[in-house]
């Protein structure tokens, strides 16, 4: 009797499609939920399967990304993609506890054990739609030029590569005068620079 029940259960489960692997061939990213085309490993093709992603994170996976398809109710036609991976672009050799956000262009935000590393892959970076940016750090290093569209407001002194400060230049030049070849002297009155 138990053997017959086991056979019936096995037959019923045999008709239910289990999760399977596939490869994304197309992504439609315009809708509320992305729809994908998936080639299954058995040569089958799913059209407009929903691609579910974690809240707060979204991506448009390139063609060739591996996917895990979960057939809802055991029906392949009602499959949803619950995970994707691409072995070429994935950041490798992360230490335990580290995480990274990456794309197919080489851009990456890498949360390492030593600190956060942002790799722009040679592409421009834009911070937009914010009234201010605050960096609460004792030192902020910039290795290239700093282009400023408006004023620089400093609470401390400003110095150059020769360790000359703006306040030091004021002391030097505020009392400095020249003799005018036409007669008299010219210079900056003290305290006006």
pLDDT tens profile 23-68: 999 999 999 999 999 998 778 899 999 999 999 999 999 999 999 9
Tens of pLDDT, residue by residue over 70-112, are 999 888 888 999 999 999 999 999 999 999 999 999 999 999 9
Q: Provide the mean pLDDT of the chain.
A: 87
Residue 1 has pLDDT above 60, yes or no: yes
Highest mean pLDDT among 17-21, 105-109, 140-144: 105-109
Query: What's the average model confidence in pLDDT over 103-132?
Result: 96
How many whole angstroms separate alpha carbon 167 and alpha carbon 181? Answer: 30
Q: What is the pLDDT of residue 73?
A: 83
Q: For residues 22 and 37, what is the distance between their CA atoms, to the nearest angstrom?
A: 10
55 CB neighbour count, 10 Å cutoff: 5
What pLDDT does 189 receive? 54
pLDDT above 80 for 173: no
Residues of the chain with CATH 2.40.50: 2-85
CATH 2.40.50 holds for 2-85: yes
Q: What percent of the chain has pLDDT over 70?
A: 89
């Amino acid at each position: 009797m138990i053997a017959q029940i086991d056979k019936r259960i096995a037959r019923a489960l045999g008709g239910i499609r289990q999760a399977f692997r596939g490869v994304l061939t197309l992504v439609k990213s315009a809708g509320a939920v992305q729809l994908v085309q998936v080639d299954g490993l058995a040569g089958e093709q799913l059209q407009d399967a929903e691609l579910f992603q974690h809240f707060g994170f979204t991506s448009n996976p390139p063609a060739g990304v591996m996917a895990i398809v979960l057939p809802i109710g055991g029906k392949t036609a009602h499959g949803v993609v619950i995970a994707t991976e691409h072995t070429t672009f994935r950041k490798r050799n992360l230490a335990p506890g580290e995480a990274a956000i990456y794309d197919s262009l080489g851009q990456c935000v890498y949360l390492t054990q030593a600190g956060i590393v942002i790799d722009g892959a040679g592409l421009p970076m834009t911070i937009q739609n914010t009234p201010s940016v605050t960096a609460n750090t004792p030192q902020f290093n910039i290795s290239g030029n700093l282009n400023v569209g408006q004023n620089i407001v400093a609470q401390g002194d400003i110095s150059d590569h020769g360790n000359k400060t703006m306040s030091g230049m004021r002391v030097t030049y505020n009392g400095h005068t020249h003799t005018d070849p036409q007669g008299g002297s010219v210079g900056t009155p003290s305290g006006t620079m």
